Amino acid sequence: MILRKLSLFVVAMCFAGAVFAQSVDFVEPKNGATVGTTFKVKFAVEGMSVAPAGEVTPGTGHHHLLIDTADIEENVAIPMDDKHRHFGKGQTETEITLAPGKHKLTMQFADGAHRSYGAKFRKTIEIEVK
């Protein structure tokens, strides 16, 4: 009986974890990867849905890629320039070209008005371009 209750509890916690998990991650490249000058970047998000920019709908947003630049704090709008790329059509992958050397890539999920969802929805990796 106790075992049965315990296993139900474990199942419930796993379910809660799946529902409430909030994060972003690079499907590719992986942290520490070596890539060519033009390479594919794939984004994943948990705990939010991807939607095009324009309308601000709670629980939705779009991906951003910050290249060799500082983090954007929560609720701050992400600039639009070469170091801050927006995927406002709701894209979940892209191809970018970088000069050879080490680069820092940061994913940042943000709302329909490009305002950062903060550290929970941020992930930074370092890669080497050859």
Residue ranges binding Cu ion (CB under 5 A): 86, 114
CB of 13 to Cu ion, least distance (A): 34
Give the residue with the Cβ less far from Cu ion, 86 or 103: 86
Cα separation of the two ends of the chain:
59
Are 84 and 78 a contacting pair, CB within 8 Å? Answer: yes
Q: Which residues contact 100 (CB under 8 A, 6 or more apart)?
A: 37, 129, 130
Give the residue with the Cβ less far from Cu ion, 29 or 61: 61
CB of 35 to Cu ion, least distance (A): 24
Q: Which residues contact 120 (CB under 8 A, 6 or more apart)?
A: 22, 23
CB of 53 to Cu ion, least distance (A): 5
CB of 41 to Cu ion, least distance (A): 15
Produce one character per residue of 27-37: b if its CB has 16 or more CB atoms within 10 Å, e if not.
eebeeeeebee
Give the residue with the Cβ less far from Cu ion, 37 or 69: 69
Rounded to the nearest 5°, which phi and psi values hold at 58?
A: -55, 140
Give the residue with the Cβ less far from Cu ion, 122 or 129: 122
